[in-house]
Amino acid sequence: MKILITGATGLIGGEIVSACHKKGYSVHYLSTSKSKLQNRENYKGFYWNPNKNKIDLACFKGVDAVINLAGVSISKRWTATNKKKILNSRVKSLQTLNEAIGKVNHNIASFVSASAIGIYPNSYTNYYEEDCQEVDDSFLGRVVEKWEEAADQLKIHGFPVSKIRTGLVLSEDGGALPQMAKPIRYYAGAVFGNGEQWQSWIHIKDIASLYLHIIEKKLEGVYNGVAPNSVTNLKLTHKIADIYNKPILLPNIPMAALKLVLGDMAYILYASQRVSAKKVEESGFQYSFTNICLALKDILQEKSQFQEELA
């Protein structure tokens, strides 16, 4: 199998590339950065610039499936300029792929696009399954809605299109977890708000396997990319602290305080989405990590022991 991946050089993409290579799949990838292009037998890079609708059509040669992860990080100040980049990078990437696929002879049998649980309305009580039609009344909710609409346009090519509404991806190499863990290790960790907001997490290995599962089974539609047991921010913070054997000494941080530092982007730390993994489980997917303690131990503990030995 040969898979074309956009955003392959990012956090989730890197893990998917490793998972592909373990299975003997080869990878073509599109990068917006010429310096990231490599040309190995099972890992071949092609340049694109979705902003200018530019793409190297050779990237589709021999490709059986496409994974779309491209997009500017949402973890930067939500200024008017950055908001435009966050939305446009996602929509234009899908539009560029859509137009390009229309121009080539292809054998694509499956198309999977990243999406996010930020589409679900902020709620302490709701339990979200994929058939929820409501959209969170926030910048993020509207971005994800437009992102999914752009992905759905690819259906005109006749292959199954699916969208993985991804939760908080836990990894030692990037994303939110290292940012949360660092202050905790130095006695400066704190719970956000009242800590009751749900955080629907997934281990990096599981999100990578889920992408391949959806491709292999040629599934279509929406799938929640979260582990079966969401936790509150309070629990997540304390479980990270347990790994490092550190207390949480500081008082909870109110949203207004963090908004002064991060601006509107602080919203992502306080938004609550409790999201179901039932549809994914029923599709036959086997999670490696369903328990937050075991997931955190796997990611943080080895590193923590190593750091203590060095200290």
Ligand X SMILES: NC(=O)c1ccc[n+]([C@@H]2O[C@H](COP(=O)([O-])OP(=O)(O)OC[C@H]3O[C@@H](n4cnc5c(N)ncnc54)[C@H](OP(=O)(O)O)[C@@H]3O)[C@@H](O)[C@H]2O)c1
CB-CB contact of 215 with 3 (8 Å): yes
Query: Which of the ranges 18-26, 32-40, 187-195, 208-216 carries the binding residues for ligand X, by CB under 6 A?
Result: 32-40
Please report whether residue 33 would count as binding ligand X according to CB under 6 A: yes
Nearest to 17 by CA among 77, 74, 83, 67: 67
- Residue 15: how many other CB atoms lie within 10 Å: 21
Least gap, CB of 45 to ligand X (angstroms): 8
Q: How far is the CB of 192 from ligand X (least distance, A)?
A: 16
Tell which positions 91-150 bind ligand X, by CB under 6 A.
93, 114, 116
Site string for ligand X, 171-210 (x = CB under 6 A): ---xx-----------------------------------
Residue 11 interacts with ligand X (CB under 6 A)?
yes
10 binds ligand X (CB under 6 A): yes
| Selected range binding ligand X among 4-12, 232-240, 275-283, 286-294, rule: CB under 6 A | 4-12
Give the type of residue at 227: A
166 interacts with ligand X by CB under 6 A: yes
Exposure string for 201-217, b = 16+ CB within 10 A, e = fewer: bbbbbbbbbbbbbbbee
168 binds ligand X (CB under 6 A): yes
Cβ nearer to ligand X, comparing 30 with 219: 30
Q: Which of 5, 31, 136, 203 binds ligand X (CB under 6 A)?
A: 31
Nearest distance in Å: CB 74, ligand X? 6
Instruction: Find the binder of ligand X among 5, 108, 112, 169 (CB under 6 A).
Output: 169
The least distance separating ligand X from the CB of residue 251, rounded to whole angstroms, comes to 27
Residue ranges in contact with ligand X by CB under 6 A: 7, 9-13, 31-33, 36, 50, 69-74, 89, 93, 114, 116, 166, 168-169, 174-175
